[in-house]
Amino acid sequence: MPKALDVLKSLSSKSDEHEFYTRLPKGYVLGKTKYLIITGSVISGVGKGTFSSCIGNILKMCHGLKVSPVKFDGYLNFDAGTLNPYRHGEVFVLDDGTECDLDLGTYERMLNQNLCRDNYITAGRIFKTIIDKERAGKYLGRDVQFIPHVTGEIKGFLRELAAREQSDIVLVEVGGTVGDIENSYFLEAMRELAYEEGPGNVCFVSVVYILEPGSLGEQKSKAAQLGLKALMGMGIQPSIVICRAGSPVREKIREKISIYSNVPLERVVGSLDVDNIHKLPLFLKEKGIDVAVMDILGLKDRGNHPNVFSEWKGLIDKINSKRREVTIGITGKYTTVHDSYMSILKALEHTAPYLGADVKVKWIETTKVNADNVRDAMSGLDGVIVPGGFGSRGTDGKIECVRYARENDMPYLGLCYGFQMAVLEFARNVCGLKDADSTEIDPGTKEPCICILPEQEEIDGLGGSMRLGGYDMTIKPGTLAHKLYGKSRARERFRHRYNVNTKYLETLEKHGLVFSGMAPQKKIMQILELPGNCFHMGTQFHPEFTSRPLKPSPLFRGFIEACLKGRKG
């Protein structure tokens, strides 16, 4: 046991007498779990989440290690539920109902495993925990400070995850940049973690960006050097530096970074942009990043694991093969921020190769679509997706897109809000309910075909208050949904407040709409389909959240397959 932790273990319960504050959870064994900490540099968006998930992919699939990822966001929000997609991209939902950063979706897809609320931590959650403990007198009358209490709670959070999951590696992504004020105390906690855990138990990886201004025509490393200097000034010595760049990183740049950061040249790795994220694990494996991490942390290959990585290579072979191109429209009001639909894009991207398809996306801004120009907006498409969303803006355009797809037998997939738009379109144009609407769009509508869930009626707040997370559903035999799932019961993830008004079910079904999936105990419709069309389906849930590269969503497979069959030429 390192001397630092030996002292901490004996004194942590006496914080009124000593300056130490740490929590070692029951069952926590020092040195059993290793920590891999990924930090950024001077700009955000350099791909820390992508790198983190991909290195986790290799360590799990190639070496049989148990990996538990954690994403830290410096925001004072308790979770990501109230964040605007324009500012932060997609809100991803875990099976336990946690609304989180889109990087958690990348982790789940790359690691092929479900995560929970303990894999995501925000500044807001940390501070709420601390204030709640202070009010309850848990700090024994101490003046509560950033050091040791805030940093101590952060370390305790990671160690509790390690003990509960019996992890080989806890992989921590520190969001934002090294210079952010809101990250400073978290990075300090990571420095303390390395000090307490001792040599060989914590590995720091810094992901930097190598600039290449078009006016200069050459790569510049100064920004990366300054980011590394700031990191080292906080007492953190990186073990590996990943240099992200738009073109191959030149040897001189790597040498500069090596000299500046005290990192051996062989562990300064150039990471060139790849055309498909699923190829990145193979690239990192080729560069030997996994071997370097295991060497630094003293880890050994488990040896008895199935070689799942061969399946991953099989997917890459399919991606690299010649494929038929299909064009799919995605409608919405956040179409200028593609990260708002990240999981949909990834579901299409990793599903298409299994069917010999190559998906091209056409973005349709529905605030500009009406009955007069919908044909132009939908021209050239092999299928259309209406994704999730909130509010009234752009809904008329979405309904016009649904109508066009239904009337022209174009493959249609409605996700969450897209499910509700399909109900309204059918009610208006097939059932003759011209005033059919959602009470979210028009609270005073005469025909509330979509209304708020009964359990949501008394809720005033927004954050974490929707019907969230994984729920089981029953699937009606003899339907397309049953054929695609191959079973009568499935589990999917939800994020909604409104549903189909049961008063209109008889009318909708009488005119031909089939509700093929529903909640087992409640009359909540969860899948709709129109048998007369090649593929006209809507889901109240988000199948994109559970679609994985090695196990694509059955609904996305069915949708792309229908797009291929209907493609002309």
Separation between Cα atoms, residue 276 and residue 233, nearest integer Å:
36
How far, in whole angstroms, is CA 466 from its chain's centroid?
A: 19
Query: Is 544 tagged catalytic?
Result: yes
Q: Are strands 67-73 and 120-122 parallel, antiparallel or unpaired?
A: parallel
Helix axes 181-197, 3-11, angle to 10 degrees: 100
Annotate 98-143 with DSSP letters as a single string.
Answer: -EE-THHHHHHHHHTS---GGGEEEHHHHHHHHHHHHHTTTTTTPP
Q: Half-sphere exposure of 359 toward its Cβ, with a 13 Å CA cutoff?
A: 29
Separation between Cα atoms, residue 282 and residue 54, nearest integer Å:
9
Contact (Cβ atoms closer than 8 angstroms) between residue 449 and residue 504 = yes
Kindly report whether the peptide bond that precedes residue 148 is cis, defined as omega within 30 degrees of 0: yes
Query: Is 100 tagged catalytic?
Result: no
Kindly report the number of other CB atoms within 10 A of residue 474's CB atom. Answer: 16
Exposure letters 250-259 (e unless 16+ CB within 10 A, then b): beebbebbbe
Q: With 0-12 CB in 10 A as exposed, 13-18 as middle and 19+ as buried, what is 158?
A: buried
Q: Which amino acid is at 460?
A: D
Q: Which residue in the block uniquely carries the two structure tokens 């894009």?
A: 345
Q: Which of 100, 116, 416, 431 is catalytic?
A: 416
Q: Is 170 helix (H, G, I), strand (E, B) or coil?
A: strand
Q: Is 549 helix (H, G, I), strand (E, B) or coil?
A: coil
Query: What phi and psi values does residue 353 have, to the nearest 5 degrees?
Result: -60, -30
DSSP E strand boundaries for 476-523: 489-496, 498-500, 514-518
- The span from the first CA to the last CA of the chain, in angstroms, equals 69
Separation between Cα atoms, residue 156 and residue 455, nearest integer Å:
35
Q: Which of 197, 542, 561, 563 is catalytic?
A: 542
Q: Could you tell me which residues come within 8 angstroms of residue 52 by beta carbon, excluding any fewer than 6 positions away?
A: 38, 69, 103, 107, 171, 173
Separation between Cα atoms, residue 470 and residue 147, nearest integer Å:
38
Q: Are strands 467-475 and 514-518 parallel, antiparallel or unpaired?
A: antiparallel
Q: Which of 173, 529, 544, 561 is catalytic?
A: 544
Q: With 0-12 CB in 10 A as exposed, 13-18 as middle and 19+ as buried, what is 215?
A: exposed
Q: How many residues does the chain have?
A: 569
Query: Is 542 tagged catalytic?
Result: yes
Catalytic annotation, residues: 416, 542, 544
